[in-house]
Amino acid sequence: MTVHHSPIVLVSSDVKPVDGYEWHAAARTYLSAVIERADAMPLVLPSFGDALDLDAILERVDGVMCTGSRSNVYPPLYGGEASERSEPYDHDRDATTLPLIRRTIELGIPLLCICRGMQELNVALGGTLGVEIQDEAGNMDHRAPTSEDQSVRFSIRHGVQVAPGGCLGRIVSSSQILVNSLHRQAVARLSDRLEVEASAPDGVIEAVSVKGARGFTLGVQWHPEYWAKSDTPSSRIFEAFGDAARERAAARSKS
């Protein structure tokens, strides 16, 4: 008898000091979207950098998701300068996710990178980031509106143009979708290993994929996890990621 198990998705963690402890955690919205829309089981990876045996971990999972976060990628990691204005930083997360992303791609494991995760993807592959992009002439303000209500902060506000025939285009079956993009940083110099999958009206890169990737690899600057239950494009992104993870799980079970 063949037993079918849910695919396992490794999820990045933020390191946060709370109640006198240092917590390695991921927000519920990301975990719920993996369970409810990707139909997979999330497993949070602690951010212990090079103390982790990534190969031993990755051979046991079927997908990897790098989440968004309030923290920003540390600018010296891509040749920039750190400043108080672009804080907070999360050095432990950087030390974990950048090598994790590179190895995930090398092994052909399905990879979904959201917001900070997409920025990590670009940096991991040699690209750079712009900080406080709302200050640049011609740019929209991509920051979240000020509100105590998360649904207001994560409201779907602007359109993105989807590249025809790309990974994202095949998933959403549309040349334009509306997104909830909340960020102060964005891709500056795009890694030569990445392909643009969507752009905002001001030209800011909003989605990317890895050229010639062995497995599903998508980075989005917005937050599909928040409305994954009610917004069709958001749901489709997680469904496609889950399908790719199931394919890997099936292949692993035969090996």
Which sequence spans correspond to the domains of the chain?
A: 8-254
Can you give the pTM of this predicted structure?
0.93
> What's the confidence (pLDDT) of residue 138?
56
Between CA 233 and CA 238 the distance in angstroms is: 9
> Quick check: is 115 catalytic?
yes
Between CA 123 and CA 135 the distance in angstroms is: 21
Q: Residue 196 pairs with which residues in a beta bridge?
A: 208
199-244: per-residue pLDDT in tens?
Answer: 998 888 999 999 999 999 999 999 999 889 989 999 999 999 999 9
The yes/no answer on whether domain 8-254 falls in CATH 3.40.50.880 is yes
> What's the confidence (pLDDT) of residue 134?
56
- Least confident range from 61-65, 69-73, 193-197: namely 69-73
Question: Among the options 195, 197, 206, 225, which is catalytic?
Answer: 225
> Quick check: is 158 catalytic?
no
SS3 186: strand
Backbone angles phi, psi at 92, to 5 degrees: -65, -40
Instruction: Count CB-CB contacts under 10 A for residue 134.
Output: 12
> What's the confidence (pLDDT) of residue 186?
85
Q: Are 209 and 167 in contact (CB under 8 A)?
A: yes
Return the biggest CA–CA distance within the chain.
62
The mean pLDDT of the chain is: 91
Q: Are 128 and 189 in contact (CB under 8 A)?
A: yes
Question: Among the options 113, 115, 142, 206, which is catalytic?
Answer: 115
> Quick check: is 223 catalytic?
yes
